[in-house]
Structure 1
Amino acid sequence: MTTEIRPANSADVPLILQLVRDLAAFERESDKVIATEPMLFEALFGPHPAAEAVIAELNGTPVGMALFFHNFSTWTGWRGLYLEDLYVTPEARGAGVGKALLQHLAALAVERGCTRFEWSVLDWNEKAIRFYKAMGAEPMEEWTVYRVTGDALAALAGRD
């Protein structure tokens, strides 16, 4: 089987949203996806894209995707690449698709002069953790992600 990685195009928005929903279901958070096709279109292909995506195909059939964006390190003075979502369909797992996606993004990060390639993984997803470690990734064990959303975000902004 041949894995091809290609940049997503606007016609891929329904596919990307379905893969995001599939990922959310895998992560036991199906009810948290509120993104719509118009929202993803604007975020990926609007006048000021917030992110990019690539599609993985096995023998011409879409079987996965990676959605990513640039972040910035004040310590290095350079941007990095942040992987927001990586998803491979269950039937394509074990065929090297995830590895191909990570290798593609790592090459993209190097080409763009990024000094970091980062992502988050759920603590309970031991299979993914083993896979990422096998790819050379190291956990940032001294760091904890914090998030402010909803009413707490409005209150912090002084708009409660």
Structure 2
Amino acid sequence: MIPIRSAGPADVPVILSLVRELAAFEREPDAVTATEAMLADALFATPPAAEALIAERDGEVAGFALFFHNFSTWTGRRGLYLEDLYVTPAARGAGVGTALLRHLAGIAVDRGCARFEWSVLDWNADAIAFYRAMGAVGMEEWTVQRVDGAALTRLAGR
């Protein structure tokens, strides 16, 4: 059994470290601009913008998941959106990712969510195969759109 717990304020430094590891894995090592203060505010303000889980293996942090709620007008219910899931290289293949996904699915069910969703990079074949084995269905007809940085400022008319 993989112990999973809600993150606390003392976990912020390790969460940021894992976010940086994830960014490096996703070939964007310099893209993380978040700070510990920003994450602490997002996770522990009232109300929080997101929540995080910590998975442990042999008393060490083995991975984390960061998630928040979205809303579906079609179902009239909120959903659970998984922003990041990361398992340390040493813990891969030990069931940590599966335990985190199962725990998150339980949260979604307990909170009455209509959906549990996340995105995955199209080149990450191992993750895609893992998610399919867990019962996930790719939303191939949907394309994520993003506006950030200067383009966001321009769109806002500022």
What TM-score do the two structures reach when normalised by structure 1? 0.98
1:21 correspondence with 2:20: yes
Kindly state the Cα deviation for residue 8 of structure 1 after the two structures are TM-superposed: 0.3
Out of 117-126 and 58-67, give the one that drifted further.
58-67
Note the aligned Cα RMSD (angstroms): 0.6
**1: CA distance between counterparts of 2:58 and 2:20?**
23
Please state whether the residue corresponding to 1:16 is helix, strand or coil. Answer: helix
What TM-score do the two structures reach when normalised by structure 2? 0.99
Uncovered stretches (5+) of structure 2, i.e. residues with no partner: none
Contact between 1:69 and 1:83, CA under 8 Å: does it hold in 2? Answer: yes
In structure 2, the residue matched to 1:102 is 101
Paired amino acid for 1:151: A
Paired amino acid for 1:55: I
Q: Deviations over 1:94-119 (max 9, x none)?
A: 00000000000000000000010000
**2: CA distance between counterparts of 1:60 and 1:74?**
42
**2: CA distance between counterparts of 1:3 and 1:102?**
12
Kindly state the Cα deviation for residue 73 of structure 1 after the two structures are TM-superposed: 0.1
In structure 1, the residue matched to 2:58 is 59
Contact between 1:43 and 1:50, CA under 8 Å: does it hold in 2? Answer: yes
**2: CA distance between counterparts of 1:115 and 1:60?**
34
Kindly state the Cα deviation for residue 59 of structure 1 after the two structures are TM-superposed: 2.2
**1: CA distance between counterparts of 2:157 and 2:47?**
27
Q: Deviations over 1:50-96 (max 9, x none)?
A: 00000000122111000000000000000000000000000100000
Paired amino acid for 1:10: P
- 4+ residue stretches of structure 1 with deviation over 2 A? none
Contact between 1:7 and 1:54, CA under 8 Å: does it hold in 2? Answer: yes
Contact between 1:3 and 1:59, CA under 8 Å: does it hold in 2? Answer: no
Uncovered stretches (5+) of structure 1, i.e. residues with no partner: none
